Structure 1
């Protein structure tokens, strides 16, 4: 038995997997997000640990025999979060998350201090990454920065609680801008550029390697054996790839979750930072991947549900489907939290354009579905421009449950999308698979296999051509509004700071 723990942005999810790779049980516990100022996004690290204990408690309650037989634990988590600890491993401030946009100016400062940063890290400096956040803390909270003895990523804070060991894996660490991604080691140049050094970084292991075992007191508290192996694990996207069997070159997945991710496995390190495409280590030795990221995806539909008091997201999709063919719908820019690929623009904001008295909630719902799909198309174009090979794509995430949205995505992207069973637990399942690899040493290809095919959505060429015209309008709209978005966001931030 192995347990996979996924530290998500809105919840911690855990799965219990047997030796036949069947998911025996799963559970979750919610985690709150704080947005105290414009562009800010934070969480309390102790909440991750509390939610992990609650979720594991549910597994233990419902599957006591299988739970007690657990031999390995794997960890997955949202990437880039800056978790700052003092010399006694006490949390110094709320963790600054992946979708926090406050450190835009510090990105330019980092690249000025380290002119070779893009070559070393394979990525353009963006506010979501960890290193610029530390420059922001040094400049704005110097009393906090002076106490920083250790910087951990979210899942690695949970590892510290489980094992007492400060360890991270290659895939998650690649998102800090402190890793030499080709060498799979910390870069002294990048650490020095943020006035940090290796002593403040966790020890590095591969995702499929062991990072330690449970502390005896924690094992007793959780009802597990102390010799349970804790794997290196992975960032949430690389873990999802392990769970979906996206390990061979050309295999890909598209995650329609809170954020949106287009992930492509690569045979070699393939950086292309100028397109705002991420080039990271994969969860396995000697492997890498490329990724485009949008900061708001399915969360846009949840936002519209709250705004319009719809019963649920399914009601919104149903109303969008009921629109007559050729209905004149507004355009929607889904940049509710800024944007990464391809714009690298923390000031980008959400926009409905072209509203009239004739538009209903269903028109707005369709515009959201389409706008998110268009953002994925922007990401696909950036990946292809960066040399990515895309042969097959698996669609996952909460939004993938909608067949209508899946078909719209297939039409917009102009490629077939597969849905597979168990996709909803991809990252947690991948973490459990990494735990098994860490304790058994089995071959990746034997364990990280693709789940059973559920259904596929093939593009309609005529519809793809129609949507291409709408996409061109969508792109022109962003380019036109970009300067005003920056002015508006900057003015709002200055007002907040003045208050």
Structure 2
């Protein structure tokens, strides 16, 4: 039996999985690493933590599986998007990586919008947001000019990890699309954006397809992990693109709902001319030559984690969710807006903050927990509303991540989204997508679609319940008023700078 490895470099941990030719996950190992948060709005990481913990995870993966390294044919990657890693002319890291959830770059986003206007949307298909890479580059240029002068290339997080494992510098189209420097339709770095903003175009890495072979493991990495020196390495993709591959979102007609730290509604697109006018993100897919549209809720699963750690720290998630299914839709008149880090879709607002609306003395833990789950799902439904308003049919949704681990939440998604929601038999998210890119790259399958037929199997389906659908439709209309009615308060609180 032959195997491939999928590596998913997340925000708080790296996950490695070993997958055989039947698509069975034979072993998995995860390792955590810390965030660096020097002040409010800052979020950084030491790239060497990624390397060290990945090496440790791979070593443990081999030990746990007892698979012969000679039978492992390929490795590929998924990674957190938008993060900025700057390297000097010796390919040494110049400063800690600035991550996707860092919000220090509001001024740079304004400058980008003023300099490029609607040309930015024409070229990149996206509007400037604090999470993207380009504002981070401009922030370093403005605030750390000596570091910027030394920069010879920038990389995305998983691209740096792959470079340290192979010695090869490159990026793939799906991750490059999240930088705000890529001409998404023409699939090349934008010389126009670089020129307008004073960015040397040579700091942009070479571009490759996600399934493309880029090299083999360096001898020292092979020795540290126990892997074979000649193990093939393939480029990989952005975490959302790989999550889509791992859920079989490879053609129109199926939509992805992924609830992790952040939440995503994602739909496949074939046409590069598709124009959502910046209402949602539009990126290159990990499937060559295709694209995807995506809306993001910044604090999705994180909202539930925050609630647990703040109010029920000693409770397990299973205990936290106990009794939620007995609370009717609407949580007894309680609404939650999940704006703990600001919001992305449809409200690109880094200053908005979350709220509970309608708190009553009769409410108990179960009401609050259900309200958090409903608020997250309402926020994701705003993207589905946008897709439908643009003529997309959203009838069948694959649910992955934390939102797929609880039957009550799966039924809630079906009722709020008004669509069939499918749970997968073995759900490994972006890590499986990375493994599938390696399997396709190794030539096991003629296409990613053929690979998906072998690797991805549905286990259960949830259908909208008419009475719950009606209640949620009415509640959603009220939920949509929360942003406009709390925006002024939140912005005023942020401007006080008292904390």
**Under a length normalisation based on structure 1, what TM-score does the superposition of the two structures give?**
0.94
For residue 61 of structure 2, what is the aligned residue in structure 1? 59
**Contact 1:238/1:282 (8 A) holds in 2:** yes
From 139, 142, 164, give the equivalent of 1:139.
142
Partner Cα distance (2:369, 2:333) in 1:
9
Q: After the TM superposition, which of the residue ranges 249-258 and 322-331 deviates more from structure 2?
A: 322-331
Q: Deviations over 1:225-258 (max 9, x none)?
A: 2222211111011111211211012222100111
| Gap change, CA 1:363 and 1:186, over 3 Å in 2 | same
1:274 aligned counterpart, secondary structure = coil
Partner Cα distance (2:20, 2:328) in 1:
48
For residue 477 of structure 2, what is the aligned residue in structure 1? 472
Determine whether 1:217 maps to 2:193.
Answer: no
Determine whether 1:278 maps to 2:281.
Answer: yes
For residue 186 of structure 2, what is the aligned residue in structure 1? 183
Determine whether 1:378 maps to 2:382.
Answer: yes
Partner Cα distance (2:234, 2:325) in 1:
44
From 16, 22, 32, give the equivalent of 1:20.
22
Partner Cα distance (2:155, 2:495) in 1:
30
Length, aligned pairs only: 493
Q: Deviations over 1:293-323 (max 9, x none)?
A: 1111111111111111251222222143343
Determine whether 1:394 maps to 2:398.
Answer: yes
Gaps of 5+ in 1: none
Partner Cα distance (2:355, 2:331) in 1:
19
For residue 109 of structure 2, what is the aligned residue in structure 1? 107
Q: Deviations over 1:426-475 (max 9, x none)?
A: 21111111112223273222113362111111111221111122112111
Determine whether 1:158 maps to 2:161.
Answer: yes
| Gap change, CA 1:17 and 1:246, over 3 Å in 2 | same
For residue 126 of structure 1, what is the aligned residue in structure 2? 129
For residue 87 of structure 2, what is the aligned residue in structure 1? 85
For residue 69 of structure 1, what is the aligned residue in structure 2? 71
For residue 438 of structure 2, what is the aligned residue in structure 1? 435
**Contact 1:317/1:404 (8 A) holds in 2:** no
**Contact 2:126/2:278 (8 A) holds in 1:** no
From 443, 450, 462, give the equivalent of 1:457.
462
For residue 420 of structure 1, what is the aligned residue in structure 2? 424
Residue 30 of structure 1, CA deviation: 0.9
For residue 359 of structure 2, what is the aligned residue in structure 1? 355
1:65 aligned counterpart, secondary structure = coil
Q: Deviations over 1:106-139 (max 9, x none)?
A: 1121122223111000111111111011112222
Determine whether 1:482 maps to 2:484.
Answer: no
**Contact 2:51/2:161 (8 A) holds in 1:** yes
**Contact 1:257/1:299 (8 A) holds in 2:** yes
Determine whether 1:263 maps to 2:266.
Answer: yes
**Contact 2:295/2:345 (8 A) holds in 1:** yes
2:295 aligned counterpart, secondary structure = strand
Partner Cα distance (2:51, 2:159) in 1:
11
1:196 aligned counterpart, secondary structure = coil
Partner Cα distance (2:249, 2:490) in 1:
37
**Contact 2:330/2:371 (8 A) holds in 1:** no
Determine whether 1:253 maps to 2:256.
Answer: yes
- What is the root-mean-square deviation in Å for CA atoms of aligned residues? 1.8
Q: Deviations over 1:125-180 (max 9, x none)?
A: 11111101111222222232222222110100101101111111111110001111
Determine whether 1:30 maps to 2:28.
Answer: no
1:289 aligned counterpart, secondary structure = strand
Residue 398 of structure 1, CA deviation: 2.0
For residue 310 of structure 2, what is the aligned residue in structure 1? 307
Q: After the TM superposition, which of the residue ranges 255-264 and 143-152 deviates more from structure 2?
A: 143-152
1:212 aligned counterpart, secondary structure = strand
